Amino acid sequence: MRHLTSLLELTAEEIDEVLGLASSLKESAVEGVRPSRLAGRVLTQIFEKPSLRTRASFDAAMAHLGGSSQFFSAKDAGLGGRESVEDVARVISGYSDVLVLRTFSQTMIERFAEMASCPVINALSDDRHPCQALTDLLTIRETCGTLAGRRLVFVGDGNNVARSLAIACGRMGVSMTLAAPKGYEFDEEFLGLLAREVPGHDVTIESDPVAAVATADVIYTDVWASMGQESEKSEREAAFSGYQVDGALLSQAPEGCCFMHDLPARRGLEVSDEVIDGPQSVVFQQAENRMHLAKGLLVWLLGD
Ligand code: CP
Ligand code: NVA
């Protein structure tokens, strides 16, 4: 049995298998074919934070594959309140074939996985967002044709999305530059982990966004204040002024460069309308791909 609490758990070959399954299930879906690969299987989602894409894409993925899904807010499930995380994990995994968890703490997902009798998927924690990063690899491969040798420039906070992208890019031979203001880059602990667990990665940090995008195949951004950081909003908006992905910044990148964002976007802050709605933006293809990736991942974890 495998879990996906962090992308560090997958090798490059395994990531390639998941992406291959996602692509072929996407092709079938486009032709109107939805093979019932997970008939009778039950997916349970438990979320401590709000979600549109993740929750809806896992529900839709399970329906496409002939299975069913159920959702609990963490409060309703009593996660860590009414009973211990470990007891919830043991009980709910007895009713489920796969569990999808969105939490504040990464440790909670790891504790859950430790006790669960079925695979546990991280649907975002403060530290990681592996399903998003896998989807982003799929979208980059569709848009650029290949992964190895491409360069992704993440303009913004060294947050959960950026960290999972760094692992994903490192595994698949994609160079990544994080363009972030001082104090919002990857910390030493994460850089040490990358060096140990993803040897050969090409992840660099650059404070000047204009210099960073000069050789970008992809410019990526995310919110400046993540869920749970609402009280830091003003301070972060001040720190990140000058880091908006707008037309002027995009014009400094090579012509064929595409724009990505995991969404939801704070339009007018980390990205301008002109860029997110412009011809180089692939954000809605990327959002749709969350469902195709979820299907590929579920079949990889549970399929015959
Ligand atoms: N990108 C993403 O995970 O979106 P949600 O928070 O809406 O699930
Ligand atoms: N970094 C964002 C991603 C939302 C999908 C957050 O954690 O809120």
Mean pLDDT rounded to a whole number for the chain: 97
SS3 229: coil
Task: Give percent helix, percent strand, percent coil of the chain, each to the nearest 5.
Answer: 45, 15, 40
Answer yes or no: do 39 and 67 share one domain: yes
pLDDT tens figures, 16-28:
999 999 999 999 9
Question: Could you tell me if residue 2 is inside a domain?
Answer: no
What is the rounded CA–CA span in Å between residue 24 and residue 129?
A: 23
pLDDT (average), residues 85-89: 96
pLDDT of residue 304: 73
Cα 93 vs. chain centroid, distance in angstroms? 23
* 262 Cα: distance to centroid of ligand 2 (angstroms): 8
Answer yes or no: do 159 and 224 share one domain: yes
Residue in 49, 52, 104, 129 to alter for ligand 2 test, most ligand atoms within 8 A of Cβ: 129
Question: Could you tell me if residue 64 is inside a domain?
Answer: yes
pLDDT of residue 182: 96
Which amino acid is present at 60? A
What is the rounded CA–CA span in Å between residue 99 and residue 234?
A: 36
Answer yes or no: do 68 and 165 share one domain: no
pLDDT of residue 303: 87
pLDDT of residue 168: 98
Question: Could you tell me if residue 116 is inside a domain?
Answer: yes
Report the nearest atom of ligand 2 relative to the CA of 132: 5
The burial of 252, by beta-carbon neighbours within 10 Å (0-12 exposed, 13-18 middle, 19 or more buried), is given as middle
How many residues in total does the chain contain?
304
Answer yes or no: do 89 and 140 share one domain: no
Answer yes or no: do 252 and 216 share one domain: yes
* 97 Cα: distance to centroid of ligand 1 (angstroms): 23
| Whether residue 103 has its Cβ less than 6 Å from ligand 2 | no
* 258 Cα: distance to centroid of ligand 2 (angstroms): 21
Count how many domains the chain has.
Answer: 2
Could you give the percent of the chain with pLDDT greater than 70?
A: 100
pLDDT tens figures, 231-257:
999 999 999 999 999 999 999 999 999
Identify which of 215, 218, 214, 212 has the alpha carbon closest to the alpha carbon of residue 282: 218
Question: Could you tell me if residue 220 is inside a domain?
Answer: yes
pLDDT of residue 80: 79
Question: Could you tell me if residue 160 is inside a domain?
Answer: yes
Residue in 227, 270, 283 to alter for ligand 2 test, most ligand atoms within 8 A of Cβ: 227
| Whether residue 161 has its Cβ less than 6 Å from ligand 2 | yes
- The pTM of this model reads 0.98
| Whether residue 164 has its Cβ less than 6 Å from ligand 2 | no
Answer yes or no: do 169 and 104 share one domain: no
Could you give the percent of the chain with pLDDT greater than 90?
A: 98
Residue in 226, 230, 233 to alter for ligand 2 test, most ligand atoms within 8 A of Cβ: 226
Which amino acid is present at 241? S
| Residues at CB less than 6 angstroms from ligand 1 | 51-54, 124, 132, 262-264
* 87 Cα: distance to centroid of ligand 2 (angstroms): 28
SS3 73: strand
What residue's CA is closest to ligand 1, atom 4? 53
* 75 Cα: distance to centroid of ligand 1 (angstroms): 19
pLDDT tens figures, 173-212:
999 999 999 999 999 999 999 999 999 999 999 999 999 9
Answer yes or no: do 215 and 251 share one domain: yes
Task: Report DSSP letters for 171-187, one per residue.
Answer: HHT-EEEEE--TTSS--
Question: Could you tell me if residue 1 is inside a domain?
Answer: no
Answer yes or no: do 277 and 298 share one domain: no
Residue 71 is given by DSSP the state E
- What sign results for the dihedral spanned by CA atoms 110, 112, 117, 121? negative
| Whether residue 270 has its Cβ less than 6 Å from ligand 2 | no
Answer yes or no: do 166 and 277 share one domain: yes
| Whether residue 159 has its Cβ less than 6 Å from ligand 2 | yes
| Whether residue 262 has its Cβ less than 6 Å from ligand 2 | yes
pLDDT (average), residues 264-275: 98
Q: Whole domain around residue 212: which residue ranges?
A: 130-286
Identify which of 216, 286, 275, 206 has the alpha carbon closest to the alpha carbon of residue 245: 275
Answer yes or no: do 68 and 90 share one domain: yes
Report the nearest atom of ligand 2 relative to the CA of 227: 8
